[in-house]
Amino acid sequence: MFMLLTVKVFVERKTTLYKVLIVTKPEVYLEPKARAQKIMELLEKEHADAEIALHYKNPLELLVATILSAQATDEQINALTPKLFQKYATAEDYANADLSELEQDIRSSGFYRNKAKNLKNTGKMLVEKYNSQVPKTMEELVELSGVARKTANIVLFNAYGVIAGVAVDTHVSRLSQRLGLTENTNQDKIEKDLMNILPKEKWMRLTDLLIFHGRRVCNARKPRCNACVLNKICPSAFTFK
């Protein structure tokens, strides 16, 4: 469905006034809250299988995998974590790890030097402050090296069933802007905007749905608007070349 804008145009033919119909973008008539609800409703039908793609068996493995996933694909991380988790099974293992050796163990994840430092420092803090356990609150998690709100939200929800916010990764950020759910580009501000237009119980479900839709349909360079179930309510539909 498209919105037709009627534009009055004066033409130098006597005094006749002509009306020209110009086809523009899709008809976007829903307010942000209503649009967000409709987006979730449509995406639930389209991506019923949406769920976290990282492989893990316990909170520590999830924390490590999520830290490693920064600037990497889930496939990359899932390929390296089986051996990694065999070698480093506890917080103590990371705390006591030889840094150079740990760097090589996670080299394929990219930015491995910085990530190795974060894992070692996180291991130390878990041992010293949290009895070697992964904490269960946002405030405590973001104190760990390499952990910001996105990682903390993922760990809290998937490891403990705690909903503290919306995990905003590159897919969630991109789609939230395209769908008109936010005008911000900062991840923390995007998260606040999304939290304000959806009920709490749907915050993390939105993350999974937008990630799957971003991977399968609304990719960064060439979104497939023709195949998108949201193209009738998306302000950005059919605007890409």
Q: Tens digit of pLDDT for each residue in 153-168?
A: 999 999 999 999 999 9
Give residue 230's pLDDT: 96
Domain 59-158 top-level CATH class: mainly alpha
Q: Is the CB of residue 209 less than 8 Å from the CB of residue 194? A: no
pLDDT value for 162: 98
Instruction: Work out the number of other CB atoms within 10 angstroms of the CB of residue 91.
Output: 24
Predicted local distance difference test score (pLDDT) of residue 79: 98
Contact 42, 230 (CB under 8 A): yes
Pairing of strands 17-26, 2-10: antiparallel
Q: Is 98 labeled as catalytic in the residue annotation? A: no
Tokens of 141: 């998690």
Distance of CA 92 to the CA centre of its chain: 30
More reliable by pLDDT, 239 or 5? 239
Least confident stretch, 6-10, 193-197, 233-237? 6-10
pLDDT at residue 228 in the model: 97
- Kindly tell me if the per-residue pLDDT of 44 is higher than 80: yes
Sign of CA dihedral 202, 208, 209, 211: positive
Model pLDDT, residue 16: 40
State the Cα angle at 220 between 208 and 205, rounded to 5°: 10
Kindly report, residue by residue over 163-220, the tens digit of the pLDDT: 999 999 999 999 999 999 999 999 999 999 999 999 999 999 999 999 999 999 999 9
With a cut of 80, say whether residue 13 has pLDDT above it: no
* Three-state DSSP state, 195: helix
3-state secondary structure of 10: strand
Query: What pLDDT is attached to residue 30?
Result: 80
pLDDT higher than 90, residue 8: no
Instruction: Tell me the three state secondary structure of residue 147.
Output: coil
Q: What is the pLDDT of residue 21?
A: 36
> In the chain, what are the domain boundaries?
32-51+165-227, 59-158
CATH fold group of domain 32-51+165-227: Endonuclease Iii, domain 2 (1.10.1670)
Q: Which of 105, 169, 193, 208 is catalytic?
A: 169
Q: What is the DSSP string of 84-115?
A: HHHH--SHHHHHT--HHHHHHHTGGGSSHHHH
Residues 6+ away with beta carbon under 8 Å from 61: 81, 85
Burial 159-188 (b: 16+ CB within 10 A, else e): beeeebbbbbbebbbbbbbbbbbbeeeebe
Which tokens in the block code for residue 49?
């299988």
User: What is Dmax (Cα atoms) for the chain?
Assistant: 88
pLDDT at 28: 60
Q: Which of 105, 150, 193, 208 is catalytic?
A: 150
Q: Is the pLDDT of residue 19 over 50?
A: no
Full-model pTM:
0.87
Which pair of tokens denotes residue 76? 């990359």
> What mean pLDDT is predicted for residues 94-116?
98
As given in the structure block, the two tokens for residue 121 are 């420092």
Q: pLDDT grade, residue 31 (50/70/90)? A: confident
Q: Are 32-51+165-227 and 59-158 in the same CATH fold?
A: no
In the residue annotation, 169 being an active-site residue is answered as yes
Residue 145 in contact with residue 122, Cβ under 8 Å?
Answer: yes
